[in-house]
Amino acid sequence: MSWADLIVLLMVVLVLATAFATLFLRNLLGAAVATTLVSLAVSVFYVILRAPDVALTEAAVGAGLSGLLLALAAKRLGLWHIEVQEAGLDERGDDPC
């Protein structure tokens, strides 16, 4: 096991932790950012797996365009809160947008 293996292992653990954070973050805007971060890290994995074209597309579409879509949808859905959202806030969005 070399240094490269250890770095890859560390990155994989961080990516899985980020994916878990998507499911358990109270702040849904933060969850969207975590999803975008997972896409960005997976694009680095594609570079290591010698697929540079896929890495380019994943970084541009998966991280860039998809993150933009998520941010705009979060704004439309009334989830644009920087501070930590409490448990009742999901029901707080009762006003029609």
Partner 1 sequence: MTEFTLYTFLAASLGLIAIGIGGVILSRNLFRIVLALSIAEAGGNLLLVLIGFRHDAIAPIIEPGRALTTMVDSIPQAMVLTSIVIGAGVQALALALAIRARASYGTLDMGIMRARMEADINRVAGAESAASLHAPASSSTLLTERKA
8 A C-beta contact, residue 18 and residue 58 = no
8 A C-beta contact, residue 43 and residue 55 = yes
Count Cβ atoms below 10 Å from residue 95 Cβ, excluding itself.
Answer: 6
Site map for partner 1, 27-66, x if CB under 8 A?
-x--xx-xx--xx--x--xx-xxxxxxx--xx--xx--xx
Both tokens of 97, joined, read 């947008």
Nearer to partner 1, 24 or 83 (CB): 24
CA gap 69, 17 in Å, rounded: 23
**Considering the rule CB under 8 A, would residue 71 count as an interface residue with partner 1?**
no
Residues found near partner 1 in the complex (CB under 8 A): 1-2, 4-5, 8-9, 12, 15-16, 19-20, 22-23, 28, 31-32, 34-35, 38-39, 42, 45-46, 48-54, 57-58, 61-62, 65-66, 69-70, 73-74, 76-79, 90-91, 93-97
